[in-house]
Structure 1
Amino acid sequence: MSNSPEVLEALFQTIRDRKGANPETSYTASLYAKGTKKIAQKVGEEGVELALAAVQGDRDEIVSESADLFYHMFVLWADAGVEPSEIYAKLAEREGLSGLTEKASRNKG
């Protein structure tokens, strides 16, 4: 795989394709078999591990834990039927907005 953004698309496709795989031979399939709660738990764990790596200033761990977080987040998206294009569209909607303004707009509803 290359270092380009296409690697993310390929990873998501692989994750989505593993939904029907054998949980005994595929870690991704084993996550699906354990259900949404376990997948969400893994996303949380990886987020915490990334934050801890950042606090420790461990650049290599930040890279590694970021990759783990992307992977588990993609499993969560696929489990929920969310496509990356939906996330990209939401990010595009927010482009050019002040982060404070965007956050305030979410709190009005």
Structure 2
Amino acid sequence: MLGGTTMSWCFLDELYKIIEERRDKPIEGSYTSKLMSEGLEIIVDKILEECFELVEAAYKGSENDTVYEVSDLIYHVLVLTAFIKIPSSRIPEELMKRRSLGHGGRKAQSK
């Protein structure tokens, strides 16, 4: 629940659209625009950093820190997908496809 309502992909889709706007029409002082201008290597480095911070928070057992780091990671993954111009619909489509295939998705298909 978020603010008394169930969280859905719709919020992430809205965020993704804002990220795309920052990619297409950079705004001075925007962190997203800065990441986009710095390029793939910096974005990927940021994702790796956020992964490490997420694992660290989880091992510490801090729920608040873990939620914070999951949010950071999701944001930076969305920046990456927007940078390489993957349509936002592809992610939930892939997750739904995996659900219908059962656990493992592509890995299960390749065996």
Q: TM-score range by the shorter chain?
A: 0.7 to 0.9
**Cα offset for 1:84?**
2.1
**Cα offset for 1:78?**
0.2
1:18-97 correspondence to structure 2 within 5 Å: 18-19=22-23, 20-22=25-27, 24-97=28-101
Q: How many residues are paired up?
A: 106
Deviates more, 1:58-67 or 1:81-90: 81-90
Structure 1: gaps of 5 or more residues: none
Superposition CA RMSD, Å: 2.1
Partner AA of 2:96 in structure 1: A
**Structure 1 residues 8-64: Cα deviation after superposition (integer angstroms, max 9, x where no partner):** 111111111001213x41110110111011001111111111111111111000110
Once residues 16 and 50 of structure 1 are traced to their aligned partners in structure 2, the CA distance between those partners, rounded to angstroms, is: 25
Which residue is equivalent to 1:9? 13
Partner AA of 2:47 in structure 1: V
Moved over 3 A (4+): none
Once residues 63 and 44 of structure 1 are traced to their aligned partners in structure 2, the CA distance between those partners, rounded to angstroms, is: 17
Partner AA of 1:27 in structure 2: Y
Question: Could you tell me the TM-score, scaled by structure 1's length?
Answer: 0.84
